[in-house]
């Protein structure tokens, strides 16, 4: 479940006349912060379980990167690229590790959608950088654009971390 802001949180939910909202799905009486933990409870999922799910997704991406690299090298006449071989490390270190940590600990009990989007974007840019650099290196050429990928990816990741502590962003916590 995803809530985008305090206004939305305080809005009166649409209900059919006479319908009784189940107790487990009722909005808390308090108008305090709508935490991810509470949202997660409302939807029957915990933030930790959600993190575990994201960990699995990133693990799948890491495995895909390894498989892709192996297949690509099968058709590259013995050429290989360190950038492509290390591509799996990006989702592993940037995805599996942090989300597994969040799933297994109480370091955080919620994550803003902005942070999640930006973090995913950073990982995607870095994986793309590895992929494009690898393709270019294997073809025997020199990539002039790799540095831009590393910079852009880094900017996304830093922005994701900063966004998590951005006050107005705290109101829009989410888990799904």
Partner 1 sequence: MLRFLQKPFAYAAVFSVTLASVNTFVLLKTYVIPTVQGYVTEVSDDSSGSSGHSGYSGTTAVTKGDPVITDSSYTDENIQITLTTVRYADTDVYVADITLSSAEYLKTALASNTFGTNVTQKTSEMAAAHNAILAVNGDYYGASRQGYVIKNGVIYRDTARKDTSYDDLVIYSDGSFGIVNESEVTAQQLLDSGVVNLFAFGPALVQNGQIAVSQNQEVGRAMANNPRTAIGIIDDLHYIIVVSDGRTNQSEGLSLYQLAQVMQQYGCVTAYNLDGGGSSTMVFNGEVVNNPTTNGNRISERTVSDIVYIGY
For partner 1, the binding residues (CB under 8 A) are 2, 4-5, 75, 77-82, 112-114, 117-118, 120-121, 124-125, 128, 131-132, 135-137, 139-145, 163, 168-169, 172
* Closer residue to partner 1, CB minimum distance, 106 or 144: 144
In whole angstroms, how close is the CB of 151 to partner 1 at the nearest point? 13
How far, CA to CA in Å, does 110 sit from each of 37, 107, 166, 176?
6, 9, 14, 10
Dump the DSSP string for 89-131: HHHIIIIIHHHHHHHHS-S-S-EEHHHHHHHHHHHHHHHHHHH
* Closer residue to partner 1, CB minimum distance, 39 or 81: 81
In whole angstroms, how close is the CB of 132 to partner 1 at the nearest point? 5
* Closer residue to partner 1, CB minimum distance, 109 or 117: 117
* Closer residue to partner 1, CB minimum distance, 14 or 141: 141
In whole angstroms, how close is the CB of 109 to partner 1 at the nearest point? 19
d(CA 146, CA 141): 12
Q: Classify residue 154 as left (phi > 0), alpha (psi -120 to 50) or beta.
A: alpha
* Closer residue to partner 1, CB minimum distance, 16 or 86: 86
In whole angstroms, how close is the CB of 172 to partner 1 at the nearest point? 6
Strand partners, 85: none
Cβ atoms of 45 and 175 within 8 Å: the answer is: yes
Cβ atoms of 97 and 55 within 8 Å: the answer is: no
In whole angstroms, how close is the CB of 86 to partner 1 at the nearest point? 13
């Amino acid at each position: 479940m995803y809530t985008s802001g305090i206004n939305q949180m305080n809005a009166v939910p649409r209900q059919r006349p006479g319908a009784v909202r189940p107790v487990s799905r009722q909005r808390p009486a308090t108008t305090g912060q709508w935490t991810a933990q509470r949202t997660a409870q409302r939807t029957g999922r915990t933030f930790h379980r959600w993190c575990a799910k994201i960990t699995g997704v990133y693990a799948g991406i890491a495995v895909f990167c390894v498989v892709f690299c192996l297949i690509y090298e099968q058709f590259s006449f013995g050429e290989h690229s360190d950038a492509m071989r290390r591509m799996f490390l990006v989702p592993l270190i940037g995805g599996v590790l942090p989300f597994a940590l969040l799933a297994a600990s109480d370091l955080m009990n919620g994550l803003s959608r902005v942070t999640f989007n930006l973090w995913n974007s950073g990982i995607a840019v870095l994986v793309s950088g590895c992929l494009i650099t690898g393709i270019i290196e294997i073809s025997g050429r020199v990539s002039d654009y790799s540095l831009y990928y590393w910079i852009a990816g880094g900017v996304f990741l830093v922005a994701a971390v900063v966004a998590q502590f951005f006050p107005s962003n705290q109101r829009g916590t989410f888990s799904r």
